[in-house]
């Protein structure tokens, strides 16, 4: 799989996305600042979410009242306050190009796909709530762009059905994800990555847990893509702020992921030059095995 010319897969550097989503609170300048912070923290990409209205909001949720920094608003009006339009995404596009970081979005409706096509997106993300939205999946598939699919709140047969619908895309990456905020470590289920790897060439992890250890561990289990929510400060208002990583936390996660990449190696057992001094000082070898060891050392 490739995203913007960057190859993903075993043996390639893990592609790490910082999901800003709506952590900018509808403030473009804050979004641009958070993008710069994500770049400095080691992210390969930032991700936003594009909703169109009212179709992106379930009917029974549109009139639910919510306390916001702008007063009491219906959930529909609240989501509208957080949404960016053409001018804002033009600014985000220019900013990302200038600092050298990828950007893409989760689309919540086919109208959102139509809107995003003007930006020639490098890929699309299908968030977990949209996994069963066949109309949206077919619209995304028709673009023939790379797709990242999250699987939170879904059964195996639903994941398989969504994958079939998206099969016309050239590249598909499927993420293990649990849609609880924050996610209890007991419900992360990283071992599902092994099952995904039996079916899909590229698998990833989209996490909602607190901390960084689980996301780093996902790489050891085969994830070639890691996505975490990102914020400039936990003190900002918003439902995702508490479970998001601040810049220092995100940078620590990136460092851990890069160390795991090195530590995985190629799976071939060998004796390293760095081990020779310890072997000379500490290892006892009987005559029967002396020849075997010498042969192995010569081969090395």
**Domains of the chain: total:** 2
**Can you give the three-state secondary structure of 32-63, one letter per residue?**
HHHHHHHHHCCCCEEEEEECCCCCCCCHHHCC
Do residues 254 and 285 share a domain? Answer: no
Do residues 45 and 60 share a domain? Answer: yes
Give dist(CA 279, CA 28) in Å, integer. Answer: 59
Which residues form the domain of 13? 2-267
Do residues 184 and 254 share a domain? Answer: yes
Do residues 119 and 205 share a domain? Answer: yes
Do residues 227 and 93 share a domain? Answer: yes
- Preceding amide of 182 cis, omega within 30: yes
Do residues 207 and 217 share a domain? Answer: yes
Do residues 144 and 259 share a domain? Answer: yes
Extract the runs of DSSP E, i.e. beta strands, from the chain: 2-3, 6-7, 15-19, 45-50, 65-68, 71-74, 102-107, 124-126, 147-150, 172-176, 202-207, 225-229
Note the pLDDT of residue 227: 98
Do residues 294 and 180 share a domain? Answer: no
DSSP 245: B
Do residues 288 and 214 share a domain? Answer: no
262 bridge partner residues: none
CATH number of the domain where residue 209 is located: 3.20.20.70
pTM: 0.91
Note the pLDDT of residue 5: 94
Note the pLDDT of residue 169: 75
How far from 205 is each of 189, 219, 231, CA to CA, in Å?
11, 8, 19
Note the pLDDT of residue 115: 97
Q: Return per-residue pLDDT of the chain as tens, 300 residues.
A: 899 999 999 889 999 999 999 999 999 999 999 999 999 999 999 999 999 888 888 899 999 998 888 899 998 988 889 999 999 999 999 999 999 999 999 999 999 999 999 999 999 999 999 999 999 999 999 999 999 999 999 999 999 999 999 987 779 999 999 999 999 999 999 999 999 999 998 999 999 999 999 999 999 999 999 999 999 999 999 889 999 999 999 999 999 999 999 999 988 999 999 999 999 989 988 755 555 666 566 666
| DSSP code per residue over 218-236 | HHHTT-SEEEEEB-S-TTS
Do residues 179 and 227 share a domain? Answer: yes
Note the pLDDT of residue 285: 80
Do residues 158 and 297 share a domain? Answer: no
Note the pLDDT of residue 69: 87
Determine what percent of the chain falls in helix, strand and coil, rounding each to the nearest 5.
45, 20, 40
Give dist(CA 225, CA 212) in Å, integer. Answer: 14
Do residues 122 and 155 share a domain? Answer: yes
């Amino acid at each position: 799989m490739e995203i913007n010319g960057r190859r993903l897969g075993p043996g390639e550097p893990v592609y790490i996305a910082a999901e800003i989503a709506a952590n900018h609170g509808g403030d473009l300048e804050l979004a641009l600042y958070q993008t710069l912070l994500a770049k400095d923290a080691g992210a390969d990409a930032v991700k936003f979410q594009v909703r169109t209205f009212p179709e992106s909001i379930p009917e029974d949720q549109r009139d639910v009242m919510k306390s916001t920094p702008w007063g009491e608003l219906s959930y529909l009006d609240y989501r509208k306050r957080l949404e960016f339009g053409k001018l804002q995404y033009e600014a985000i596009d220019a900013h990302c190009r200038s600092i050298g970081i990828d950007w893409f979005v989760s689309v919540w409706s086919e109208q959102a796909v139509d809107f995003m096509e003007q930006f020639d997106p490098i890929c699309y993300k299908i968030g977990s709530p949209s996994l069963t939205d066949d109309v949206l999946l077919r619209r995304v598939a028709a673009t023939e762009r790379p797709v990242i699919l999250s699987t939170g709140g879904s059964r195996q047969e639903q994941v398989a059905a969504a994958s079939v619908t998206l099969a016309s895309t050239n590249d598909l990456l499927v993420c293990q994800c649990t849609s609880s905020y924050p996610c209890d470590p007991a419900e992360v289920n990283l071992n599902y990555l092994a099952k995904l790897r039996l079916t899909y060439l590229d698998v990833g992890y989209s996490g909602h847990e607190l901390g960084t250890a689980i996301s780093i561990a996902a790489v050891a289990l085969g994830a070639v893509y890691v996505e975490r929510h990102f914020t400039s400060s936990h003190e900002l208002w918003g439902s995702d702020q508490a479970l998001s990583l601040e810049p220092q936390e995100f940078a620590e996660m990136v460092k851990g992921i890069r160390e795991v990449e090195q530590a995985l190696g190629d799976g071939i057992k060998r004796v390293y030059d760095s081990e020779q001094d310890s072997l000379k000082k500490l290892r006892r070898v009987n005559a029967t095995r002396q020849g075997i060891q010498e042969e192995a050392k010569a081969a090395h």
